Amino acid sequence: MTLLDVRNLSVSIPTPEGDVHAVRSVDLSIERGEIHGVIGESGCGKTMTGMAMLGLVPQGARIAADRFHFDGEDLSENASRLRGRRIGLISQDPAAALNPVLSIARQMDDVLSAHRDMPRQTRHAEAAALLAATGLPDPEKVLKSYPHQLSGGMQQRVVIAQALATGADFLIADEPTTALDVSVGAQVLALLRRLVSERGLTVLMITHDMDVIAEACDRATVLYAGRSVETGPVDDVLRRPGHPYTRALLAALPDAGPHGARLAAIEGSIPPPRIAIAGCAFAPRCPQAMLVCAAEPPPMRARATHRWLCHLPEDAA
Amino acid sequence: MELLRYILRRTVLSAFVVVGVTFLVFVVAQVVPSDPAALYAGPRPTAEQIEKARQELNLDAPLPARFATFAAAMATGDFGVSYKSRRLIAEDLRSYLPATLELAVFSTGLALLIGIPLGVLAAARQGKWPDRLGSFSSIAAVAMPTFFLAMILQLVFAQWLGILPLSGRLSREISISAPLPMVTGFNMIDALLAGRIDAFGNALTHLILPALTLASYPAGVAMRLTRSAMIEILERRHVAAARALGLSEPRILFGHALPNAMGPALTVIGLSFAYALTGAVLVEIIFAWPGLGRYVSEAILAKDFPVIAAVTMVVTICYVVMNLMIDIAQALVDPRVALS
């Protein structure tokens, strides 16, 4: 069953020098109970897409979409009501996401008292139980602590426990492992997977790291210059990528080439977010670009539920 | 543990400040171009009288010995005798100091109660009318001369509306007909100790106008500081995170952002308190408030040095203690302070 259904989402921010097209056209279809990865390089609009779902876009920003539905409700009207009730956020840098001058107990209790109607004693027990559910060994001690007394991995677990405390069933995880050591990051991903299966959560995983997609996600959507260019089951996207950009991303992974070889990089850079783009946004950097690519928007190619936008014929992929 | 070490360190530093000020007060007394013996000897003294005063005050002893005597006297609270009135200074302070402290504490509290919420509101509605109005009022509050504000308040509340007394610390019906037993010197506390609700109310109403007058400047400063600190903090990631967690806007403003902005606001307490302790001369005179400001200003005009020294010491100690309490409060509000 589709929990999140987004068609042609755009977010533009007016500035004195003209509109910034942070998100140009994003399609997302997320099934209940899956971890859906959204991948792309910095500035491709992945975080802004998540913020639009939370109704936390910068002041003055315009959101438009053909369809922007969460569990049957229109997010363009209800985002701020659903935020913190059904949609939660796990942000990139847990140290910045926690309030430095309040104890973890206060911060957990604030969330619980905002969403659950229970007496203080019960809230304390519930806070400890949620912290334990995120794999923190000594919840009572963590509750007494302040954020600076915890390690990055523990902080991220507290942030996850807070998101669970809201009762949200859809979590937007914005690069949840970027600020962490690799091994701690892997533990956090494993924790998210466990919570998804145990609690029936759905997660939108925003990342720039193909390894995170491979390790934790069921399906993935690739963003380029504010557009979703490819989407499908992770195995298909990683093993038989349709879009030349996805192929270039995979080729740029350190372990993709022979040992000792120069790392592959994608030539050029993403188009600036202020300009209008007529054809395929990747055309200037695409090794297989044709004349038509810069002129006309690419058509949809599909292999079962694996879809991408490209002028190249399907069998070229 | 960290907190205890921090408090200890702060206390030791504060003690050094007090010792340093004791030294300075003594040095200043030596370089002031007036002869204490001549002042002590009374109006138009003869040479013999001055010589006698010199011996009585022990002015011929060597400097280090005199500093030792001075420091020992200060430490035991023996401030000596006023050159002018011949009264024991410690006795005078027992009634003047509580009067001033009462005013200082009350006006500082008022300044924070007015300034901080207005600053939060202005930051939350940045650029909108509450912010404009708040910013305008804070500038007016800071710029308004004390004596002018005092007169306006007296005119409106005492003269026109007649709901608050014009001046003084207590009404005559109480201070003369049924005086309060002096226990602490703080009228409101003494009234409560004596179970005299009428006297408590009377003392409180006398306090309001001078405290408001004194609170105006620090309230304006508190508002500005709180506003700018809040604006910076509302930009931080954890505020967005709190919104994403569905916390209510008042909860985010006062429960999450304000504790982060308390540092600057607490600093205002020190400023406001120091201002109220000695800057209150005009206010004390206008409202006939029998406090330290009035006491010391008369002493300065009369070159009554022991009084000046005693008041300087007492004010220094009050200020140092206040700052120590603020430092400790900041460490309690923000546990990272004790670490640095």
Other CB atoms within 10 Å distance of the CB of residue A148 = 13
Could you report the per-residue pLDDT of B291-310, keeping only the tens digit for each?
Answer: 888 898 889 888 888 899 89
**Cα angle B117, B121, B122; round to 5:** 115
Is A279 part of the contact surface with chain B (CB cutoff 8 Å)? no
pLDDT beyond 70 at B213: yes
Tokens 């709180």 belong to residue: B226
What is the rounded distance in angstroms from the CA atom of residue A191 to the CA atom of residue A197? Answer: 10
CATH of the domain at A8: 3.40.50.300
pLDDT score recorded for residue A190 = 93
User: Measured between alpha carbons, how far apart are the two ends of chain B, in Å?
Assistant: 14
> Which residues of B lie closer than 8 Å to A, measured between beta carbons?
236-238, 240-248, 251, 255-256, 259-260, 262, 333-336, 339
Amino acid B30 reads: Q
The answer to the question of residue A151 being in a domain is: no
Backbone angles phi, psi at A78, to 5 degrees: -110, 5
The answer to the question of residue A141 being in a domain is: no
Question: How far apart, in Å, are the Cα atoms of B60 and each of B35, B53, B66?
Answer: 12, 11, 9
The answer to the question of residue A304 being in a domain is: yes
- In sequence order, what DSSP letters do the residues of B264-308 get, joined into one string? HHHHHHHHHHHHHHHTTHHHHHHTT--SHHHHHHHHHHTT-HHHH
Please give the tally of structural domains in chain A.
1
Query: How far is C-alpha B267 from the geometric centre of its chain's CA atoms?
Result: 13
For testing contact with chain B, the best of A101, A107, A109 (most B CBs within 10 A): A101
Q: Which of A93, A110, A148 sits opposite B251 (nearest CB)?
A: A110
The mean-pLDDT minimum among A123-132, A217-226, B89-98 falls in B89-98
Q: Contact, A114 vs B245, CB < 8 A?
A: yes
Question: What are the residue ranges of CATH 1.10.3720.10 in chain B?
Answer: 89-339
What chain B residue is nearest to A165 in terms of C-alpha separation? Answer: B245
Tell me the two tokens of residue A163.
């998101």
What chain A residue is nearest to B337 in terms of C-alpha separation? Answer: A101
Is A159 part of the contact surface with chain B (CB cutoff 8 Å)? yes
Residues of B in contact with A114 (CB under 8 A): 245-248, 251
Q: Which of B240, B247, B333 sits opposite A114 (nearest CB)?
A: B247
Q: What is the mean pLDDT of residues B115-120?
A: 92
Mind telling me how many Å the CA of A234 is from chain B's nearest CA?
28
Phi-psi category of A153—alpha, beta or left, where left has phi over 0 and alpha has psi -120 to 50?
A: alpha
Mind telling me how many Å the CA of B166 is from chain A's nearest CA?
44
Residues of B in contact with A89 (CB under 8 A): 241, 244-245
**Cα angle A259, A260, A266; round to 5:** 90
Closest Cα to residue A143, out of B242, A152, A154, A153? A154
Could you report the per-residue pLDDT of A6-56, keeping only the tens digit for each?
Answer: 999 999 999 888 888 999 999 999 999 999 999 988 888 888 999 999 888
What chain A residue is nearest to B233 in terms of C-alpha separation? Answer: A99
The answer to the question of residue A214 being in a domain is: yes
What is the rounded distance in angstroms from the CA atom of residue A146 to the CA atom of residue A220? Answer: 36
What is the rounded distance in angstroms from the CA atom of residue A161 to the CA atom of residue A141? Answer: 15
> Domain of A293?
2-86+168-316
Closest Cα to residue A134, out of A164, A99, A111, A102? A164
Is A83 part of the contact surface with chain B (CB cutoff 8 Å)? yes
Fold of B89-339: MetI-like fold (1.10.3720)
What is the rounded distance in angstroms from the CA atom of residue A247 to the CA atom of residue A285? Answer: 12
Residues of A in contact with B236 (CB under 8 A): 96
B43 vs A60 pLDDT, higher one: A60
Q: What is the mean pLDDT of residues A202-218?
A: 92
What is the rounded distance in angstroms from the CA atom of residue B97 to the CA atom of residue B284? Answer: 12
For testing contact with chain A, the best of B126, B245, B330 (most A CBs within 10 A): B245
Cβ pairs bridging A and B (under 8 Å): 76
The answer to the question of residue A130 being in a domain is: no
ipTM: 0.81
What is the rounded distance in angstroms from the CA atom of residue A30 to the CA atom of residue A273? Answer: 26
pLDDT score recorded for residue A224 = 93
What is the rounded distance in angstroms from the CA atom of residue A218 to the CA atom of residue A254? Answer: 23
Contact call for B245 and A91, based on CB within 8 A? no
Could you report the per-residue pLDDT of A69-78, keeping only the tens digit for each?
Answer: 999 889 888 8
Q: Contact, A97 vs A85, CB < 8 A?
A: no
Is A116 part of the contact surface with chain B (CB cutoff 8 Å)? no
What is the rounded distance in angstroms from the CA atom of residue B221 to the CA atom of residue A29? Answer: 53
Pairing of the two strands A219-224 and A227-233:
antiparallel
pTM of model > 0.90: no
Q: Contact, A100 vs A158, CB < 8 A?
A: no
